Amino acid sequence: MPAIRGTIGNMSTAPVRLSHDERLSPATLDVVREIVKHTETKLTSLQTERNRIIRRIHALRYLAHMRAQQESSQNDAALNFKPLLTVVKSKKQQSGQVDNQPPSGHTRQASSKLRRACRIALMEGNLAETSQEIFERIIKRASFSFESYSDPINAISHELRKMASDGEILGFNTKQVQRWEWKRE
Tens-digit pLDDT profile for residues 41-54: 999 999 988 988 88
Domain 106-185 is found in CATH 1.10.10.10: yes
Question: In the prediction, which pLDDT does 83 show?
Answer: 38
- CB-based contact 98:89 (threshold 8 Å): no
Question: In the prediction, which pLDDT does 65 show?
Answer: 76
Q: Domain spans of the chain?
A: 26-95, 106-185
Question: In the prediction, which pLDDT does 12 show?
Answer: 53
Distances in whole angstroms, Cα of residue 184 to Cα of each of 38, 54, 127: 30, 11, 11
Sequence-distant (≥ 6) Cβ neighbours of residue 164 within 8 angstroms: 170, 171, 180
By the 10 Å C-beta count (0-12 exposed, 13-18 middle, 19+ buried), 181 is classed as middle
Sequence-distant (≥ 6) Cβ neighbours of residue 151 within 8 angstroms: 98, 100
Sequence-distant (≥ 6) Cβ neighbours of residue 4 within 8 angstroms: 15, 16, 18, 24, 29, 32
Question: In the prediction, which pLDDT does 51 show?
Answer: 85
Per-residue three-class SS string for 21-68 = HHCCCHHHHHHHHHHHHHHHHHHHHHHHHHHHHHHHHHHHHHHHHHHH
For the chain, which ranges sit under pLDDT 70? 1-22, 71-107, 185
Question: In the prediction, which pLDDT does 126 show?
Answer: 79
Question: In the prediction, which pLDDT does 35 show?
Answer: 93
Distances in whole angstroms, Cα of residue 21 to Cα of each of 1, 4, 25, 48: 10, 15, 12, 41
Question: In the prediction, which pLDDT does 81 show?
Answer: 38
Helix segments in the chain, DSSP class H:
26-79, 82-95, 107-124, 131-141, 152-165
